[in-house]
Amino acid sequence: MSRTEHAHNGHSHSHGHGDGLLIEDRHDHEAQTYDLMARELLATWTDEDYRVDPARIPFVNREHVDYLTAAVDQLRPLAGKRILEVGAGGGSLAVWLAQQGANVVGIDVSAGILEVARKRAAVNGVSDSTTFVHCPIERFDPRAAGLDHEHYDAIIGNNVVHHFDRQAAMASLCRLLAPGAVAVFCEPVLFAPEWVRTVRNSRLVTRRFPPHTHTPDERSLGEEDFAIMRRWFRHVHWQPFQLLARLQNFVELSDRTWNALESMDRTILRTVPFSRRACRMVVVTLALPREEIV
């Protein structure tokens, strides 16, 4: 079966987990959340709040430092590359990549949050090398968006794949990657039976330990998601991060405790192979799209 046929036949307009939720509903939920956030930012931020330091990757918080660094390192050298950021949000990473000499297109389902991104690009003087498009990855077509290209030298996303319609998104990524290019994503994972997910998301548990999510439809990646990726790409690799640091899911850790746990995690994940499947975050690298979908 060809890529196009597989994408058409496999796209049920749900997000790939059998709950019947329309992908349009998911996009609407996410857009509402981030549109609301954008209105507050645009009303209260000063130019200084939009500043991005070109000497430092714009980490959202300490939890992103290790894995986002690893993801960006896979795209280097950055200068001169055409990079697509999926789920660009307020544009911090897109602006930083442009500061490094890349030409960046950022897409997002929230039109409001992309206004924040455009303002950030203007404040940092990179409007000419950044373009922001209101469109989900599942439907993104650069030509239809008025861009003068079809492919990207690299694709990156931070905490976005677990929002996607997996089949439709993988089809788009295959189509958008230039020959030899890679797509790199930082994602939460839970390699566990479905009953474990059910218990974790039960009212009894979430009342005491709320999930660290922004929108109601998020779901950590599991085995079935990687199986979908392997059907579309010949190269699917994931690097694990955060093991003991999973405690952050249940209780707020001090910086000192967090740093100590993360340091131990690096050692354990490097030296104890079976520990990898208990990690909290991964950096997923996708390359070599299949000509025929298996």
Whether residue 123 lies inside any domain: the answer is yes
Residue 196's pLDDT is 55
Whether residue 147 lies inside any domain: the answer is yes
**pLDDT grade, residue 22 (50/70/90)?**
confident
CA angle 114, 59, 30 (to 5 degrees): 40
Residue in 293, 291, 290 with CA at minimum distance from that of residue 233? 290
| Domain residue limits at 38 | 3-10+20-242+279-289
**pLDDT grade, residue 65 (50/70/90)?**
very high
Whether residue 128 lies inside any domain: the answer is yes
Four-CA torsion 233, 269, 258, 66, nearest 10 degrees: -40
Whether residue 213 lies inside any domain: the answer is yes
Residue 205's pLDDT is 52
Predicted confidence (pLDDT) at residue 8 exceeds the cutoff of 60: no
Residue 220's pLDDT is 87
Residue 16's pLDDT is 42
What are φ and ψ of residue 190, in 5° steps? -145, 95
* Residue 136 in tokens: 């989900």
Residue 101 is given by DSSP the state: T
**Residue 84 neighbours by CB under 8 Å, 6+ apart:** 104, 105, 106, 107, 152, 154, 155, 156, 176
Whether residue 251 lies inside any domain: the answer is no
Residue 165's pLDDT is 87
**Residue 213 neighbours by CB under 8 Å, 6+ apart:** none
Round the average pLDDT of the chain to a whole number and report it: 87
Whether residue 248 lies inside any domain: the answer is no
Task: Tell me the average pLDDT across 119-141.
Answer: 97
Residue 215's pLDDT is 47
C-alpha 13/C-alpha 25 separation (Å) is 10
As a whole-number percent, the residues of the chain with pLDDT over 70 amount to: 83
Residue 28's pLDDT is 83
Residues 160-216 pLDDT 10s: 998 888 999 999 999 999 999 999 999 999 986 655 545 555 566 556 555 555 444
Whether residue 269 lies inside any domain: the answer is no
- Here the CATH number for the domain that contains residue 202 is 3.40.50.150
Whether residue 271 lies inside any domain: the answer is no
Number of domains in the chain: 1
Residues 242-292 pLDDT 10s: 999 999 888 899 999 999 999 999 999 999 999 999 999 999 999 999 986
